[in-house]
Structure 1
Amino acid sequence: MSKDSSRVRLTAGRVASFACPDGKSQAFLWDTDAPSLMLRATPTGRKTYAFEGRLNGATVRIGIGTAADWSLDAARKRAAELKQQVDGGQDPRELERQKLAAADAKKLADVAQVEAERLADMAVGEVWSAYLAERRPHWGERHYADHLKMAKAGGDVAKRGVKIPDSGERPKTVPGPIYALLNMPLRDLTPARVEAWAAEQAKTRPTYARLCWRCLKVFLNWCAEHPEYSRLLATANPAKTKKTREVLGKPAVKDDALQREQLTAWFDVVGKISNPVIAAYLQTLLLTGARPGEVLSLRWDDLNTQWKGMTIRDKVEGERVIPLTPYVAHILAGLPRRNEWVFSSTRALSLDPASIERRKAKHVRKGSVAPTGELVQASVSGHLTDPSSAHRCACAAAGLEGLTLHGLRRSFASLTEWLEIPSGVVAQIQGHKPSATAEKHYKRRPLDLLRMHHERIEGWILEQAGVRFDPAAHASRLHVVG
């Protein structure tokens, strides 16, 4: 017992009047009714109850609480409980720690139970949203937009299509294939359910359904890698079944491409397209063998007039540089420089800034984006976005129905066979991955070597098409604009 302490029978009055003497750091007052209970006072006027006893030869002191919060009877009762524990050989502090640990464990178990119940009822759509959010930093804008599109609810007024005769309105868009699965719990996405979904989608849009099915398999693989979702899956990947593959069928091999004898007709009708930007775009597409979207996003800064090169935004390698051949340079030099885009859109110039901002906000709400990160509408992006309609009309006039924009890329690769151009050269120009060890690790063709082959390809195609063009007489008029 401290020398600054005394033992009396504690009463409410004594507790209230007890104070720490001047010059002391603390003072104690022991209770005679409960010998292990003491009252401690400090110079600040704070008074607290505490228990003190001996356990295994050592002094054990445990705070009970302040006199303001604890009544004297309650403090005596608590001191008696602590004394009983000490007399029984138990350390009250260890018992309290065990009690708190048990309470924390129960709380964690309750939280885990609530989370397990939430996950058990989690819909496919909620997990799909989490999947898109996690993967978006690793995807391109177009790939992300495709995933949004395949899960859209539909019901919007279609921007294309024949108007309904009775109402004069355009039809509504249909839901994306994945949308049919979004509202069901993930645990109910069984192989049988996926097979039924595939059979239904294959009735009207088998090609798009095959794409969505492949994306669905990747999504479920992602779920299998996350413990919180993997335990909800009926199998390792419910979408990976033989019956689903059979129901969707195999994609037909696309073989639309221009034949040598069709080049004259194609160049003739394309040259008559009223919009010179579209006409130049289509010819550039054929003569470079690039992907349609790569040419659409071509900027004036991508054209190197000094070294006669063209930088293509490549979906495989990020970007590649191909030759700027004479005829392509000639037709591009004749295009108007309205903005940063080589194949610019006149629609962008017809809107005031406020209208453009309204359209941007509208398409941001819908989540529609273009491959370059710009919004889909040409009026917003500033460049062509869908010249396929003009191309279809031109091909119909020439009797070349079914030739797609990607078919022009296929045409470039096919026509080079007539010249026996090395396959590695064609692959490097078109942006295909090397298919052989020597191509992948050893051969690095400089731009000059590619140009020798590429100009030969261009000259031969123009010759077969009956297009008169003298590179020397039509020296490139492309130049740097300051």
Structure 2
Amino acid sequence: MATQKSRVRLTAGRVADFGCPAGKSQAFLWDTETPTLALRATPTGRKTYVFESRLNGATIRINIGTAADWSLDAARSRASSLKMLVDGGTDPRELERQQQAEKEAKEAAAAKAAEQARQDAAAAALTVGEVWAVYLEARKAYWGEAHYRDHIKLARAGGKAIKRGTDGRGVTIAMPLHALMGLPLRSLDALTIEAWAAREAKTRPTSARLAWRLLKVFLNWCAEQPEYAPLLPSTNVAATRKTREALGKPKAKTDALLREQLPAWFAAVRNLANPAISTALQVMLLTGARPGEVLSMRWEDVNQQWRGLTIRDKVEGERVIPLTPYVQSLLSKLPRRNEWVFASTRTVKMDGKNMARRERRAHAKGESMALGEVVEASATGHITEPRSHHACACQTAGIDGLTLHGLRRSFKSLTEWLEIPAGVVAQIMGHKPSATAEKHYTVRPLDLLRIHHERIEAWMLEQAGVPFEMSAVSATLRAIA
């Protein structure tokens, strides 16, 4: 404290009249009634009540407040309470810091609780469909096109008006996963999924089993995401025994051509009016390739020089198999309509409903189009689903239950008659090696595969009674404008 202080009994008038003398940075007027209270004035005219005392040999000074905000009686009361703290050995400044810290901690806790409540409310409203969309976007780059389409298809809503494929309803039905899309993610539990599985298994067990497998992987992905994991139980609620039992086990498919059915099948398929579909079906049987692999072949995949056929493999990316003579002769007869070997020839007559959209596309390409013009209607440019044609051919041939994938199964089954090495057949079909020796030590070049593959083709044609001469193979592929 200062050695000499100006003390008076503070009154409202003296507080109002007190000011800082010229040339000084501040001035104090001490109260005689409360000795630890002073009025401080600065050259700017600001007047503040201050408390000053000594604690442990050191001077402490604390601002109480401005004279405009504090009455004199309130300032004296505050100074007295601070004096009591100092006399008790407590530093008011430290106490104030503690109180401020406690206040800030309470405010922070309240803010955290409010934010948690907001997040909980948002999480409670987060639906399976919303997270499903995020999941598809995150995983799309790691999936094949067909796998991605399965996720879209199986979660699709119904109610779309179409003319075909609705069994007379006129509108599509909701797919299996759609029933779960509107539920809150956190509401998914074992009981919900078990009830869903039991319901779906009654009408469409095959689709439901695929949907269930996709759902299990989706929930595993959610469990790995920090923002979704707290919404779900620690275990995968879709992987329960009751769900698995409700959906049942898929039965192994056994549809395949018998050797004695080959003449009737080839005769019916070769008589199909659409040469591209006729060729595609025969290529599926003679190569053992998956239907989608055959239908998505491009002309650049057909190597006439080295007699190779590049297959876009869904497992390994691609594989090259021999371009056998009969398959080569079939492909040489197809016109090049676009980049696809099995180009779509399906057309539709335009009407006013779709005209505006087609006109915009034509305008963007600098083309013109008249109302009623016949245009190509395929979205992909190539044949995608020749099931109906194959079904008609099988009906003509008197063959029941043979699917497109059954042609791939037929290739494998029929090779058993020739005792072709299993590894050769697996490599042509695109199956992964099943043994260490096959995987790491056996390398079969294209010319070695060709020996076996041409033998398979020749035998099938012989059994089918299909006349074919090697000289019939065209050296070039025909193109049309």
Q: TM-score range by the shorter chain?
A: 0.7 to 0.9
Which whole-Å CA distance do the structure 2 matches of 1:311 and 1:82 have between them?
A: 93
Q: Which residue of 1 aligns with 2:367?
A: none
Q: How does 1:164-313 map to 2 (within 5 A)?
A: 164=168, 171-226=170-225, 228-233=227-232, 236-313=235-312
Equivalent pairs counted in the alignment come to 444
Worse-matched range after superposition: 120-129 or 453-462 = 120-129
Name the aligned partner's letter for residue 427 of structure 2.
Q
Structure 1 residue 405: deviation in Å?
0.7
Deviations 1:72-118 (A, max 9, x none): 659x97x9799889964244567545543442333122211221243
Question: Which structure has the larger Rg over C-alpha atoms?
Answer: 2
CA RMSD after TM alignment: 4.4
98 and 138 in structure 1: CA distance in 2 versus 1, 3 angstrom threshold = farther
CA contact (8 A) 1:190 1:235 kept: no
Q: Percent identity?
A: 55
Structure 1 residue 195: deviation in Å?
2.4
Which whole-Å CA distance do the structure 2 matches of 1:471 and 1:50 have between them?
A: 114
CA contact (8 A) 2:336 2:478 kept: no
Worse-matched range after superposition: 334-343 or 180-189 = 180-189
Worse-matched range after superposition: 313-322 or 118-127 = 118-127
The answer to whether the aligner puts 1:146 opposite 2:146 as a matched pair is no
50 and 11 in structure 1: CA distance in 2 versus 1, 3 angstrom threshold = closer
Name the aligned partner's letter for residue 111 of structure 1.
E
Q: Which residue of 2 aligns with 1:127?
A: 131
Worse-matched range after superposition: 448-457 or 430-439 = 448-457
Which whole-Å CA distance do the structure 2 matches of 1:192 and 1:64 have between them?
A: 65
The answer to whether the aligner puts 1:114 opposite 2:118 as a matched pair is yes
Q: TM-score, normalised by structure 1?
A: 0.76
CA contact (8 A) 1:325 1:454 kept: yes
- Gaps spanning 5+ residues in structure 2: where? 2-9, 362-375
Structure 1 residue 211: deviation in Å?
1.2
472 and 117 in structure 1: CA distance in 2 versus 1, 3 angstrom threshold = same
Q: Which residue of 2 aligns with 1:371?
A: none
269 and 222 in structure 1: CA distance in 2 versus 1, 3 angstrom threshold = same
Q: Which residue of 2 aligns with 1:374?
A: none
Which whole-Å CA distance do the structure 1 matches of 2:297 and 2:355 have between them?
A: 23
Q: Which residue of 1 aligns with 2:381?
A: 382
CA contact (8 A) 1:217 1:240 kept: yes
CA contact (8 A) 1:325 1:451 kept: yes
Name the aligned partner's letter for residue 150 of structure 2.
D
Structure 1 residue 126: deviation in Å?
3.3
Task: Describe the SS at the equivalent of 2:164.
Answer: coil
Structure 1 residue 274: deviation in Å?
0.9
CA contact (8 A) 1:151 1:179 kept: yes
112 and 80 in structure 1: CA distance in 2 versus 1, 3 angstrom threshold = farther
Which whole-Å CA distance do the structure 1 matches of 2:344 and 2:18 have between them?
A: 93
Q: TM-score, normalised by structure 2?
A: 0.76
432 and 55 in structure 1: CA distance in 2 versus 1, 3 angstrom threshold = farther
Deviations 1:451-475 (A, max 9, x none): 2221221122122211222224424
Structure 1 residue 188: deviation in Å?
3.8
Task: Describe the SS at the equivalent of 1:380.
Answer: coil
Which whole-Å CA distance do the structure 1 matches of 2:385 and 2:39 have between them?
A: 88
Name the aligned partner's letter for residue 119 of structure 2.
E
Q: Which residue of 2 aligns with 1:476?
A: 475
234 and 97 in structure 1: CA distance in 2 versus 1, 3 angstrom threshold = closer
Q: Which residue of 2 aligns with 1:24?
A: none
CA contact (8 A) 2:320 2:446 kept: yes
